[in-house]
Structure 1
């Protein structure tokens, strides 16, 4: 999507109050039988990835202290993921995909997570919520923590160099060669962010010295040691800070600790989060970046849907995986969403936002001799997270059927024929960026 169109769409959504109802999921058509679901989930609510000492150099007042190390899943985040797992059991148990009231057959329910604490703990919480009395659901992840898992963090290779200069060029091409128009289009949220971080024109920081905020610094692109390109300057700071405020709200912190009590409402938080969504749109959904970073994951999803026997770490029991869970990061969801041109909106969040604990689900159905893939997005609403709300049929999480634009001509009841879905997935990924050893 063109960046100007992206900004206009988000702003229009905010101004018009286009908050969809929590549950907008198409029912299973009569005569259809679900055979498999592959779920790509973001980890749950976590603490900021920066230390408080680092954050305090950005704002006039010290940031709230979290009960866990930087970037770790919080106890509240773990509880929320258990609640989400319990709902998956209700949902997919009622559909006949998995056991609703007993432990599943070995190998039919499988989970693979990234190696970070927040992803491993989120995966464990989801499984515990699904089957709290079942001890045969071992959580699996890459054994070597010293190297990135290529499903979640693919690395440069001879065939897929992920050249930083080429990456920056692709991003800059989307915004007309400079950040001038982007900063102009986002002047409102940027001013609001500066006033939240540094009220009344404050210049001193909580850490002492320095300059509060980043309003006068130029926005630029920087490639980190992990090879990912990030925004620096006011847009980068706005992205980081707004995401931190979202985690504070989802953690259920008192109102005076969410952005220091300087946000009038959740709508104000949403306006600030447009900066984070813009950051993700540029650095994760730019087509060249999405193909480099998302091809492994999309290929794995398609391969597992096709057979059910090639899920990473699956037990050699001869049973195909029926419910496969990947737990990673928002970047993984944005990469796959960009490759397939997917979008959604859950109450309390922006269009296409990959909220904490939210997940893209690829659900395979069969009717007669025909198989279909339907895509859905599941996520607790912000109020459900804030209030630790129990999820059930009467009070479900946010749910949304997600259309696959490339399958519009062949779509039937919001589902794409499996063969066509596999064609679309194969055409979207970059085969040169598939890591050897992944399916």
Structure 2
């Protein structure tokens, strides 16, 4: 794998970026600014053999080559491909010059200060700007969450925190997760686990979930939902990393229908903790403030044309929910916020109509692209789906008035 990544990086120095498959753009529309919020690429599971995963099954979990939570080598390769593809789209849209490094002040890279997000940004830059001196910004203290990327509660009001707990509890009760829990019971041999013998939780379908909202901390839960999410996260990462099928969930996930059943639990966890209005508006506050600042007063000409933020699925989920994005599907993906995917906040100018416009796209790789690790290009582009916001009604091409989008921002 190390030879492979060296070959990828060496090859990028001599090849042009390839284009992301873009949606329809009417004649006369010019992209003037874009801010991208990305999720890090493939990492080892956050829960490792010495923690929750060891308690939920008697079976041995496969080993990873990097510590828990760290970006893997394959994750770096995939992010290099993504950087190259996104840069090709930026060249195509005229925000970057072809065969040249970005002009000073034209690109700003900003990552959360964890290994997986900083490394993701570094590999993205290697793919997008090979051989160029493009600075990466992050806070000095590594291993701690940057407040801009920390999806924590800010509100000190006890009523607001109680409202958040009520909202999370209500959302969890709406989820239809029994099929996923039953499948996990079988895969894990859950009734023989430490969770059963020590914690008296022997059937995930019968576990209760409790939620908490504390100032300065992320939304949290305890119970079947949290356990299920940790386990399915590990299985999903094994699949993306390219583990042999016999080693993924010990060979007990046999078809796409089962993957989708399990994904409902993982998506339900994120939906419950980060997307209810009572939660999202608060925990996304710092991230949205930064995004708002990046788009402030573009008429002065001082706004950075291309900004890239490297954070987490919780950032993307809470930001989209806080902005009241309409429901969406990502073809070829089971996750609502896929590994390595990014959302693009785009400011366009309709040169013929004299209008400023907004479009929001989700750029991502399918689960098969991630597993196969194949190079992205014109024949194998990352996917692009245009999202819409309730308060910014879009036309047939996904564009809405910039003035409407600005009203949505805090």
> Could you state the TM-score of these two structures normalised by the residue count of structure 1?
0.80
Maintained 8 Å contact 2:87/2:128: yes
Larger mean Cα displacement after TM superposition, 59-68 or 154-163: 154-163
Question: Is 1:295 matched with 2:278?
Answer: no
3-state SS of the aligned residue for 2:246? helix
Query: 2:363 is matched with which residue: 378, 389, 402?
Result: 378
Question: Is 1:273 matched with 2:270?
Answer: no
Within-5 A mapping of 1:77-96: 77-96=75-94
Q: 1:258 to 1:165 in 2, by over 3 A?
A: same
Matched with 1:112 is 110
Query: 1:235 is matched with which residue: 183, 206, 225?
Result: 225
Q: 1:56 to 1:139 in 2, by over 3 A?
A: same
Q: Deviations over 1:124-144 (max 9, x none)?
A: 11111101111x111111224
3-state SS of the aligned residue for 1:333? helix
Q: 1:32 to 1:242 in 2, by over 3 A?
A: same
Matched with 2:373 is 388
Q: Deviations over 1:323-348 (max 9, x none)?
A: 11000000000011101222432233
3-state SS of the aligned residue for 2:217? coil
Question: 2-side partners of 1:346 and 1:78: how far apart?
Answer: 23
Maintained 8 Å contact 2:151/2:315: no
Q: Deviations over 1:165-199 (max 9, x none)?
A: 44312323446xxx4x64xx32111101111111x
Query: 2:384 is matched with which residue: 381, 386, 399?
Result: 399
Question: Is 1:424 matched with 2:384?
Answer: no
Question: Is 1:45 matched with 2:58?
Answer: no
Which segments of 5 or more consecutive residues in structure 1 lack a partner in the other structure?
1-22, 311-317, 427-439
Query: 1:304 is matched with which residue: 294, 303, 327?
Result: 294
Within-5 A mapping of 1:23-422: 25-54=22-51, 55-134=53-132, 136-145=133-142, 148-153=145-150, 164-174=161-171, 179=173, 182=175, 185-198=176-189, 203-204=192-193, 215=204, 216-222=206-212, 227-307=217-297, 320-342=303-325, 343-350=327-334, 353-368=336-351, 369-408=354-393, 411=395, 413-422=397-406
Question: 2-side partners of 1:74 and 1:392: how far apart?
Answer: 22
Q: How many residues align?
A: 386
Question: 1-side partners of 2:151 and 2:230: how far apart?
Answer: 23
> Could you state the TM-score of these two structures normalised by the residue count of structure 2?
0.86
Post-superposition offset of 1:400: 0.6
Post-superposition offset of 1:25: 4.6
